[in-house]
A = this chain, B = another copy of it.
Amino acid sequence: MSQYVYFFGEGRTDAPALDKMLLGGKGANLCEMSQLGIPVPPGIVITTDACKRYVRDNRFPTGLLEEVLVRVQQLNSATGKVFGNPDRPLLVSVRSGAPVSMPGMMDTILNLGLNSETLEGMVRSTGNERFVCDSYRRFVQMYGDVVLGMEHHDFEHILNDVKKSVGAASDTDLRAGDLREIIRQYKDLVRRITGNDFPEDVHEQLRGAIEAVFKSWNNDRANIYRRLNHISDDLGTAVTVQSMVFGNMGDTSGTGVAFTRNPSTGERKFYGEYLMNAQGEDVVAGIRTPYPIGRLGDDMPEVFGQLDEVQKKLEAHYHDMQDLEFTIQEKKLYMLQTRSGKRTGVAALRMAVEMVDEGLIDRKTALKRVDPESIPSMLAPVFDPEEKKKAIKEKRYLTRGLNAGPGAASGIVVFDSWNAQNRKIKGEKTILVRMETSPEDIAGMEAAEGILTARGGMTSHAAVVARGMNKPCIVGCSSLHVEERSGFMAVATEDGRSIIVREGESISIDGSTGEVMLGHLPTRPSEIQQVLDGLVPEETSMVAKYFKKFMSWTDEVRTLQIRTNADTPRDARIARTFGAQGIGLCRTEHMFFEGDRIAAMQEMILSDTVSAREKALEKLLPYQREDFIGIFEAMEGLPVTIRLLDPPLHEFIPHDEGHMGELAHKSGVSLEKIRVRVEALKEQNPMLGHRGCRLGVTYPEITKMQVRAILEAAVTVKKKGKSVYPEIMIPLVGHIKELRNQKELIEATAQLVMRESNTRVDYLIGTMIEVPRAAIVADEIAQEAKFFSFGTNDLTQMAMGFSRDDADKFLRDYLRLGFYERNPFQSIDQEGVGALVKMAIERGKKTRPDIKLGVCGEHGGDPTSIGFFHNAGLHYVSCSPFRVAVARAAAARAALGV
């Protein structure tokens, strides 16, 4: 028979190992503190094994209750009290404690062990009737609520009625007699509702409490919490039964919460709060204002000295910042809990770097301490917190949406791309507000300071593009209605107002929180960003120094290369400041939207003949060449992967009559002809339509122009003495013959340019793997492709049959129901889409063992996905410039097996 219960206290424990999986996080830490000689009220831990058996068999495992009985004897001797004995009654707390922290589970039960007899005994021994009666009242209420499943508010009714009848304004006004009356009524209520008396037998009380903890493992809150936090259902919870100490026994008693370092800033300074003559819940409840921990040094210097020693010991022991709970009972200090403390991103960074400097942890441990997802918030611009408070006070807080792109932005509201660009030319800052965005809005998004949409989820067009541009962005703001043509938006505020905001008024959006406010709130760039941009010298910013140091450590351990998705020299340069090692995806189509280019592009699309198309493409050639020269120069010495034209042609021409008329006027093509062409280009499912290499196959002249621009740019840059490594990437390949067709065109054109310029350029030809079929026949495709770049956005869409633009309608339900743990557009679906990626890698390598493998979908910037890609054997991931630092950190963690 296995042992289910272990003892801690008196500077020791009999637990065989300080194993959180067995003892729960709380239990293990209490055992450990005890072993360290830190004053801890003695207690026992019932293991997670016992819980798992209970859950499986729906009854206590054989022998458990007997073991508990024996262990309670041990508690009696350790405390000098006796459980259930009226003369020296031992009271205990009962708490759940899972291997990982789970706030969704059972509430604590305090003061267990009180009954009619021990109550009177305790009154006698403490001489404090009110304190003891209040403790009993609380116990009956907690036990009724948590163990007996009664309604909390039924107890509150009784409490309030009695308060009213005796004229008590607050709980503390109640006298011992009042409390006895309340207890009487509570017990009546228990009898009425449950059909049984409230248990007088303290062992029955304990048994009930343990069973309630076990049952709470599968309550709804716990299940939902586990699902949301990706915690296994199989862990089970431990139960800690600990002898009570009281912080509310008078002015020499108290209780508090502390951190070994500042959890907001990371500063190495003991930090915390306490209250005298209070219990733990009073500190949290916020009725009385607690004192800063430093004051304890004045009040009780001896106790403070002891506490300070303990906190140092604990941090040194755990090699991490600790979150502590303590109680002082009549000048005696007891530690009730220690655990790794939660901290902000910046604090995590500072602590990690400083602890390495202090020799407390090594670099690898430091790398594990900073969540890569916390990095963007360190880099994002912020509102002045005072200004924000003011705005809320002035009722300028409007609504909240999904925080799709971190950072703060303020500007004039505009409802279309055109106005965003126009106002930018005039030097005005704007916020682009749309029902949802489309590729036609790209130029406007680029011009605006921030983006706000009524529709869409975290992976909608607006969200993805905005993150790529590092623009603050809020999406899925459903209380917003946007009338784009009429130039206003209507907001239903949470407090029931309906506010109309017209074009020209100012709003402020906080993309880190999703908040939308009326009016202009001043913003400032983050400290780190200011240093990276060279606006502020590095020496002046400690946090920027820490950031750089930390990032350099990531490079020491990671094996994945980090590239960036960049379409402009500016993006390329930014990415390099963040440490990008090349461009993994340069989308050529974004280049076509600017200025005169779109006109030439539209001319090409409206052309009827190859030669007319070639003429229009001829106009685009110099622009493309210049773009590529700029990018190659910005990325000097690093590889640049350029994707040939990908989106369907209809994305480049307008669809409404007004804009079609404009186009007719500008281009000299008849409106009727434009209409016919627009109609002909219309697609039912553009995602699966005439795009990618399908364009290059049907319009080889487009491929030729693009390849000429790439090669001519490479030649130009090379002639300046700079090294250049173009990688030409063919999108949407599904069949080897598509690839061959385009490859032949590329090679012929490249030969031509190299002969013309008498310059040799080394370049690679490769393909996206984004159509499921390509993954299936990757062995064939690798015959022609020197590299694979996984386009996991489209691969996800096609393999799962999810349109990213439409999936929100059901994906929300799917996540709620737990079909998928994470949004598959945010974090790759490893079992399904991931299996295709692995298949393609395996098959591709079979044909070409040295094939270069990367990913350029959104997932390339997602830490969890990066872990998967590392394990799958990719050579690099590519992500937006502002995710490069995230990806470096995530790649380091992946290499460390985190």
Residues on A close to B: CB < 8 A? 683-690, 694, 697-698, 732, 734-735, 737-738, 741, 770-773, 776-777, 794, 797-803, 805-807, 809-810, 813-814, 817-820, 829, 831-833, 835-836
Find A810's partner among B690, B776, B801 (CB 8 Å cutoff).
B690
Q: CB distance B772 to A798 under 8 Å?
A: yes
Q: CB distance B735 to A819 under 8 Å?
A: yes
- Evaluate whether A737 and B817 lie within 8 angstroms (CB atoms) in the complex, with A688-B806, A777-B831, A799-B776 already known: yes
Q: CB distance A684 to B741 under 8 Å?
A: no
Chain B residues within 8 Å of A813, by CB: 697-698
CB of A839 to closest CB in B, whole Å? 8
CB of A712 to closest CB in B, whole Å? 28
Find A773's partner among B799, B805, B806 (CB 8 Å cutoff).
B799
22 contacts between A and B (CB under 8 A): A684-B686, A684-B687, A685-B805, A688-B798, A688-B803, A689-B807, A689-B809, A690-B809, A690-B810, A694-B810, A697-B814, A698-B810, A734-B801, A735-B819, A737-B819, A771-B799, A771-B800, A772-B800, A776-B835, A794-B801, A798-B798, A798-B799
Q: CB distance A797 to B686 under 8 Å?
A: no
Q: CB distance B686 to A687 under 8 Å?
A: no
- Evaluate whether A803 and B737 lie within 8 angstroms (CB atoms) in the complex, with A772-B772, A772-B798, A777-B831 already known: no
Chain B residues within 8 Å of A741, by CB: 817, 819
CB of A67 to closest CB in B, whole Å? 38
Chain B residues within 8 Å of A794, by CB: 801
Report, nearest first, the 9 A-B pairs whose CB atoms are least far apart: A688-B803, A685-B803, A773-B832, A684-B805, A771-B801, A689-B806, A737-B819, A685-B687, A694-B810
Chain B residues within 8 Å of A820, by CB: 735
Q: CB distance A697 to B737 under 8 Å?
A: no
Chain B residues within 8 Å of A776, by CB: 799, 831-832, 835-836
Chain B residues within 8 Å of A806, by CB: 683-686, 688-690
Which residue of chain B lies nearest to A738 when distances are taken between CB atoms in the complex? Answer: B819
CB of A109 to closest CB in B, whole Å? 36
Chain B residues within 8 Å of A777, by CB: 831-832, 835
Chain B residues within 8 Å of A689, by CB: 803, 806-807, 809
Q: CB distance B799 to A737 under 8 Å?
A: no
Chain B residues within 8 Å of A799, by CB: 771-773, 776, 798
Chain B residues within 8 Å of A831, by CB: 776-777
Which residue of chain B lies nearest to A811 when distances are taken between CB atoms in the complex? Answer: B694
Q: CB distance B684 to A803 under 8 Å?
A: yes
Q: CB distance B690 to A688 under 8 Å?
A: no
Q: CB distance B771 to A809 under 8 Å?
A: no
In Å, the complex CA distance between A801 and B734 comes to 8
Chain B residues within 8 Å of A734, by CB: 800-801, 832
In Å, the complex CA distance between A803 and B738 comes to 17
Find A832's partner among B735, B802, B817, B833 (CB 8 Å cutoff).
B735
CB of A868 to closest CB in B, whole Å? 15
In Å, the complex CA distance between A798 and B800 comes to 8
Q: CB distance B818 to A737 under 8 Å?
A: yes
CB of A228 to closest CB in B, whole Å? 16
Which residue of chain B lies nearest to A649 when distances are taken between CB atoms in the complex? Answer: B809
Which residue of chain B lies nearest to A819 when distances are taken between CB atoms in the complex? Answer: B737
In Å, the complex CA distance between A818 and B740 comes to 12
CB of A695 to closest CB in B, whole Å? 8
Find A685's partner among B688, B737, B770 (CB 8 Å cutoff).
B688
Chain B residues within 8 Å of A770, by CB: 801
In Å, the complex CA distance between A817 and B805 comes to 33
CB of A834 to closest CB in B, whole Å? 9
In Å, the complex CA distance between A741 and B734 comes to 33
In Å, the complex CA distance between A773 and B738 comes to 24
In Å, the complex CA distance between A32 and B741 comes to 44
Chain B residues within 8 Å of A817, by CB: 697, 737, 741
Find A801's partner among B698, B732, B803, B818 (CB 8 Å cutoff).
B732
Chain B residues within 8 Å of A735, by CB: 819-820, 832
Chain B residues within 8 Å of A800, by CB: 734, 771-773
CB of A479 to closest CB in B, whole Å? 15
Q: CB distance A801 to B801 under 8 Å?
A: no
Which residue of chain B lies nearest to A796 when distances are taken between CB atoms in the complex? Answer: B773
Q: CB distance A801 to B688 under 8 Å?
A: yes
- Evaluate whether A773 and B829 lie within 8 angstroms (CB atoms) in the complex, with A685-B806, A738-B819, A817-B737 already known: yes
Chain B residues within 8 Å of A802, by CB: 688
In Å, the complex CA distance between A686 and B685 comes to 7
In Å, the complex CA distance between A694 and B685 comes to 18
Q: CB distance B683 to A803 under 8 Å?
A: yes
In Å, the complex CA distance between A835 and B685 comes to 24
- Evaluate whether A688 and B797 lie within 8 angstroms (CB atoms) in the complex, with A683-B803, A772-B772, A832-B773 already known: yes
Q: A690-B809, A738-B814, A777-B831 are in contact. List 10 more A-B contacts (CB 8 A).
A: A684-B803, A685-B805, A687-B803, A697-B810, A697-B817, A698-B810, A771-B800, A773-B829, A777-B832, A777-B835
In Å, the complex CA distance between A773 and B697 comes to 28
CB of A38 to closest CB in B, whole Å? 46
- Evaluate whether A836 and B686 lie within 8 angstroms (CB atoms) in the complex, with A698-B809, A798-B801 already known: no
In Å, the complex CA distance between A697 and B770 comes to 28
Chain B residues within 8 Å of A833, by CB: 773
Chain B residues within 8 Å of A803, by CB: 683-689
Chain B residues within 8 Å of A684, by CB: 686-687, 803, 805-806
In Å, the complex CA distance between A77 and B698 comes to 59
Chain B residues within 8 Å of A685, by CB: 685-688, 797, 803, 805-806
Find A688's partner among B687, B694, B698 (CB 8 Å cutoff).
B687
Which residue of chain B lies nearest to A814 when distances are taken between CB atoms in the complex? Answer: B697
In Å, the complex CA distance between A40 and B798 comes to 61
In Å, the complex CA distance between A738 and B777 comes to 28
Which residue of chain B lies nearest to A835 when distances are taken between CB atoms in the complex? Answer: B776
Chain B residues within 8 Å of A683, by CB: 803, 805-806
In Å, the complex CA distance between A776 and B836 comes to 8
CB of A435 to closest CB in B, whole Å? 9
Chain B residues within 8 Å of A686, by CB: 684-685, 803, 806
In Å, the complex CA distance between A687 and B687 comes to 9
Chain B residues within 8 Å of A832, by CB: 734-735, 773, 776-777
CB of A777 to closest CB in B, whole Å? 6
Which residue of chain B lies nearest to A455 when distances are taken between CB atoms in the complex? Answer: B680
Which residue of chain B lies nearest to A812 when distances are taken between CB atoms in the complex? Answer: B698
CB of A21 to closest CB in B, whole Å? 27
CB of A369 to closest CB in B, whole Å? 34
Chain B residues within 8 Å of A772, by CB: 772, 798-801, 836
CB of A569 to closest CB in B, whole Å? 32
Chain B residues within 8 Å of A698, by CB: 809-810, 813
